[in-house]
């Protein structure tokens, strides 16, 4: 399974990625700002999603909103 970011770069476990768009977090009133760095990502079973921690909160993010840092 190949996981790619919005630019087509391959992602692997432990990579760092950057958000390319402001994202609203479902279930809260917070917004993740464009340019936010997500370090040490983990791949999931779905090639369009990754897991990462932002401010000590574990989130699942779509790869179409990320670019490799």
Q: What is the pLDDT of residue 36?
A: 96
CATH number, domain of 28, equals 2.30.30.40
Domain boundaries, position 46: 3-68
Per-residue pLDDT tens digits for 8-62:
999 999 999 999 999 999 998 999 999 999 999 999 999 999 999 998 999 999 9
Contact 22, 34 (CB under 8 A): yes
Whether 67 has a pLDDT exceeding 90, the answer reads yes
> Per the structure, how many domains does the chain have?
1
What is the rounded CA–CA span in Å between residue 40 and residue 25? 20
Residue 1: pLDDT over 90: no
């Amino acid at each position: 399974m190949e996981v790619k970011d919005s630019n087509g770069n391959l992602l692997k476990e432990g990579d760092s990625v950057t958000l390319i768009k402001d994202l609203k977090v479902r279930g809260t009133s917070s917004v993740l700002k464009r340019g936010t760095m997500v370090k040490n990502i983990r791949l999931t079973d779905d090639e369009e999603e990754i897991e990462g921690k932002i401010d000590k909160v574990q989130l699942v993010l779509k790869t179409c909103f990320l670019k490799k840092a």
